[in-house]
Structure formats: structure tokens, C-alpha cells
Amino acid sequence: MSQRELHRLARHHGLTLSYDDPFGGAGRAVPETTLRLILDGLGVDPDAPPGGPAAPCEMDLPEDVRCWLPPTLETAPGWGVFCQLYELRSARNWGIGDFADLAVLARTCGAAGADFLGINPVHALFLSDPHRRSPFFPSNRRFLNPLYIAPDRVDGVTEPAEVAALREAELLDYPALARVKIGALRAAFDAGAEREGLAAFAEAGGGPLRLHALFEAISARMVAEGHGAGWHAWPQALQDPQGAEVALLSEELADDALFHVWLQMIARRQLSEASATAHAAGMRIGLYLDLAVGEAPDGSSTWSGAAAALPGLGVGAPPDMFAAEGQDWGLSAPSPTALQAAGFEPFREMIAAQMQDAGALRIDHAMALWQLFLIPWGAGPAEGTHLRYPFADLVRTLADLSHEHQALVIGEDLGFVPPGFRRTMSGANVLSYRILVFEQDETGFKPASAYPRTALACLSTHDLPVLSAWWRGEDVERRRTFGLVDAAQSASDAANRREERAALIACLRSAGLLDGPVDPDTDELPPGILDAAHRFLARTPCLLAGVRLADLVGPEAPTNVPGTLDEYPNWQPRSPTLVETIADHPAFVATASLMRAERPGPETE
């Protein structure tokens, strides 16, 4: 097949063929080997002429495809608080924030006038390999991470002596946490604790829950025998969940698998209790959960067949100003043809699992509804390309579930955003995700009036520093330290940060939120800037405004440095503040007061 014919076939199936250089150099063509690999994964014969329906080339959606929005937001925009659940510190947790801490914080935030409490993804990870700690690299998005169970809320659990050290640590020790917490829960399970309702829960979970639990049981056995926790490292006979060897092993591991079903029951019960607490505290929205963009290629979801993946391909991001070489997230690449063949039922079930206890759902990298950047295994991001997905069908499914569960939807639309995407999402009532430090143009920071109504506005996200660290340029220095950008780019970024500080001061002053002189060259964030920035966000037209808890009570250390693995302790920093004391913390009290004044909520009779 000639290059022209290959390109014609690739375009028909929604593949991008070339990219501009974000740094102004020569563009690049996508390698033919990449195009052929993706076409083969889609079941397309690269040597045949285009056939079948073409991938979507327009983003327009039918008028009836609209997600649910709380009616009172139209006249009374809301606000809320974000945090990383694991970083919460309390006098009673075992060294990792848990669902009981979530309930305490929900009660605090609701009493302070907040409409929502947002947290990181709480999907199931790999219990047998707790080093794999990123909440955005789950084994299965349909199920929960048992490390968030509050063990002292489970009958029969005894607190081991090791908990004292875990409780005082500054960084989470995931292997120790998994060993101690899961061990104590297993002892309670073996003693017959909390078995009521287990059979009904297992029956309701059906095949997906049974296979996830079996995966966890086999994973533990494989790690004990020197294999990996993920199924790619297992003996070939165990890689097929329908195979004879798995059937035999499932009988041997029946009690272990039932323990993992029990863990899911306890986790779901405690998350539901936290959700009920949020609503009882007066929140209009309640818990705001986070959906990771994909799943690990060797996790429970791909092993069980719940997520049919394109072979030999992973998900990432093309080169940009923040990562000159691009990013390879290592996530499996879902097959759009398999999704369509299954009537989108796996997607529907996965979204429904999130909305079961969520008043709002944030979709990480929402552009995945339209396209994903796929990278061949073993290659670099420069050899990847975008593949389009069945956009209208996915958004319609999302909208239907949004109304069914009365959960609003926020689409994280940062990074490479295709033209027209934000307009279309706004039309579907999917809120945009607007970060203050990114809302700039050639004249400086955009005024509050330039923010869209259908959006959530906040200072930063888990991939960005808190405002005080942003002011100091710590993110710029870290990108240089970890080799994510070269020295020239780093120097340019550092010089630009000084200009950004001055521009932020000018923006806040223009909005009437700063009085008196403010020095943009001071090393530390000047007094008043944080409050002014929160007032600025509250005065945008956005339906929602968010406050990052770490900006108020810590930790100041970055949650995550994108592009790094173990070079930095990603997902490990803990808050220095006990969750029981947050209600009286001066920064929390002051910020909640100003947000409540700016966004008082609906009038009550």
C-alpha cells in the first residue's frame, strides 16, 4: 500500500497524521508503523480500502444531549473545597486519610457554607503492589481502593502497634500501610466480622465484582511466588480468566476472593456514609469524585475483559511547553470498536459506579471523549498520534447517567484542547475546568468577566503547586531538576514567572481586590494575594469556584510532579494539620468566610 493510500485509510478511522512543533521548529509526520499498529488494533486491514463508518469529524451534538445541573446554580453559583483524600491527617486514622476523615471534613465544609467537597480518584489500585500508588493509574475504575477504609469503623478490627509510627509520618509509606491495614482487616474478616449483607452485595456486583476479587486473590498469590502483581507477569495459563487453570485456582482461592468482595462492601458502605454526611451538612452538590482517564494495562479491568484494550499501545500526551519530550502515562488504550460492539455498556457501568455516591464527577482529561493520544509500547511520545473516539455516543451516555443520578459533570480540559471542544462541552452542560494561572493571554491575566459561565474556576490542580510555591517558582525549578525541560527553556520559564507575578498583581488590583503597594520581586507570597485570588475566582461568572485545601492548611509540597515516577515522592506528602482542627484553622475560617460572602447560596425562606 502506498503512503497516500495508508494516510487515506488512517484519516477515515480518525488518526492524526502530523503535528506542529510546540517550540516553533519543524513539524513531524506520524510514523507509518504507528498508523499500521493502531489500524490493526481496530481490526482494519491496512491493505484494504476504507470501509465501514468513518470516525467522527464534527463535534456537534444533538440538542437533547445535556448533562444535569442543579437548578439553584443558575441563580446562586456555588463554591467548594478540594483535597487529596490520602493526605488528610487525623488523630484516629492509620497514616492515610480515609472515608471517616472524609465524612469529618464534609461536615466541616458543609457547616462553612461549601456546596461540594472534591477528592482525588479513589479507584482500586494494586493491593499486592502498593508501590504503584498513583490514583490516576488504577487497576479498575469500577471498584474502590480498600486503603481508604477506616478500620476503626469496622467491628472486630484491632489497631496494631505499628500504626503509631504511620500516623506520625510526613510521607505515606504505602507498602507498610497495605501490610498493616489489610492485615488487620483480614483478621477481622476471618473472625466473621460484618458479614451481614455480604451475599447480597456479591450477587448485586455480579461477574465484574467476582472477577475483580479473583484478580486480587490471584495477584497476591503471584507476588508471593515471585511474579508481578499485574497479569502481564503471570504464567500464560492464568492470563485468561475463562481458562481451566483460573477455574481451578479460583476454587483454591475462594476465601481470599470473598475477602476482597468484603473489602469492596465495606469501602462502598463507608463512602456512601461520607456522601450522606455531605448532604446532611447542607451541601447542594455533596461529594465531588474524580475519574481517572484510563486504567493500567495489566490490571483487573483489562484482565477481566471489562476494558477491551488496543494491543501494543498506551495513552499519553504529545510534546508541549511543560514536557518537551511529551508524556507516556502508561495507561491502556481503550478500543473504540470494542466499545461500540458492546453497546457502550462497559462505559455506562463504569460511570454509574462513580455517580453512585457523587453529586459531581470530574473527568480527568475530558478530551478523551473525543480523542486520545496513543503511543506504541517501547516508543517515545514523539512517535504517537491521536485517535478519535465515538464522541456523541459517549457524551450521550454520560448525560443520561448524569440525569439518572443527578450528578453534575466537570470536564478537565487542560493541555492539548482541540478547536471547538470547549464550546461543544459547554453546550452539553459539561463544566470547563479553568485554572487561574493558566487563564492568561498576551495582555496578562484575563479579567473575571472573561471566564465562561459553564465552568469551575480554581487556583490550581494536583499537577500544579499551591499558590505560595507557584509564586516562588518551585515548579519551574523542579521541571529543570528532573530534566523535563532543558536549561534554556527553564531560564525562560523563570524569567516569565517574575512577569506573571507582576501581571497577577495588576489583574487583582484592576479588579479592586488589592490596596497599597505589592512587591512582585519578594520571595514569599505577599499578604493578601491568596485572599484576593479567591475573591477573584468567586466573582467570575463560573457556576462553581473551588478552594484547594492545601493552599490553606498544607501541605505545601507538590502532590505530584508530572513526568516523574520515583524521582519525587508523588502522592505521598501528608497534611501537617489534623482534620479535626480544620474548622477552627484561621486560614480556613477566613477563606470560607469570604467565599460565603461572595457566593452566599440560594435564598431560603
* Torsional sign, CA 460, 463, 466, 469: negative
Judged against a pLDDT cut of 80, whether residue 48 lies above it is answered with no
Predicted pLDDT at 476 = 95
Cell, residue 77: 453559583
Model confidence at 162, in pLDDT bands (50, 70, 90)?
Answer: very high
Kindly tell me if the per-residue pLDDT of 552 is higher than 80. Answer: yes
pLDDT tens profile 413-429: 998 899 999 999 999 99
Element (H, E) at 375: strand 371-376
Q: Work out whether strand 327-334 and strand 385-388 pair parallel, antiparallel, or are unpaired.
A: unpaired
Residue 24's pLDDT is 67
- Positive or negative: CA dihedral 548, 136, 489, 439: negative
Q: CA 189 to CA 478: how far, in whole Å?
A: 44
Determine the Cα–Cα distance for residues 112 and 281; give it in Å rounded to an integer.
9
Q: How many domains does the chain have?
A: 1
pLDDT in tens, 436-488: 999 999 999 999 999 999 999 999 999 999 999 999 999 999 999 998 888 99
Residues 188-212 have pLDDT tens digits of 999 999 999 999 999 999 999 999 9
Nearest Cα residue to 560 out of 136, 246, 127, 144: 136
Give the residue with greater pLDDT, 18 vs 56. 18
Gap between the Cα atoms of 101 and 85, Å rounded: 8
Identify whether the C-beta of residue 460 lies closer than 8 Å to the C-beta of residue 414: no
Q: Answer whether residue 51 shows pLDDT above 90.
A: no
Tell me, yes or no, whether 70 lies in a domain. Answer: yes
Q: Pick the closest to residue 595 from 527, 549, 562, 558 (CA basis).
A: 549
pLDDT digits (tens, 9 = 90+) for 291-346: 999 999 999 999 998 878 999 999 999 877 666 778 899 999 999 999 999 999 99
Asked whether residue 350 is domain-assigned, the answer is yes
Element (H, E) at 222: helix 198-224
Residue 561 inside a domain? The answer is yes
Residue 23 has pLDDT above 90, yes or no: no
Region 144-165 average pLDDT: 97
> pLDDT (tens digit, 9 = 90+) per residue, 343-394?
999 999 999 999 999 999 999 999 999 999 999 999 999 999 999 999 999 9
Say which CATH number the domain at 53 has: 3.20.20.80
Residue 310 in any domain: the answer is yes
As a whole number of angstroms, the distance between CA 584 and CA 589 comes to: 6
The whole domain housing 170 covers 3-598
Mean pLDDT over each residue of the chain, to the nearest integer:
95
Within-domain flag for 495: yes
pLDDT of 81 over the 80 cut: yes
What is the pLDDT averaged over residues 163-173?
Answer: 98
Beta bridge partners of 15: 387
Kindly indicate the confidence band of residue 245, based on its pLDDT and cuts at 50, 70 and 90: very high
Residue 397 CB contacts under 8 Å (≥ 6 apart), including other chains:
344, 347, 348, 351
Q: Is the per-residue pLDDT at 68 higher than 80?
A: yes
Residue 430 sits at φ, ψ, to 5 deg, of -95, 115
479: left (phi over 0), alpha (psi -120 to 50) or beta: alpha
Asked if the structure places residue 311 within a domain, the reply is yes
- Is 604 a domain residue? no
pLDDT in tens, 93-131: 999 999 999 999 999 999 999 999 999 999 999 999 999
Q: Decide if 603 is inside a domain.
A: no
With beta carbons less than 8 A apart as the criterion, state whether 106 and 277 touch: yes
Asked if the model's pLDDT at residue 605 lies above 50, the reply is: no
Distance CA 334, CA 260 (A): 26
Q: Is the pLDDT of residue 270 over 70?
A: yes
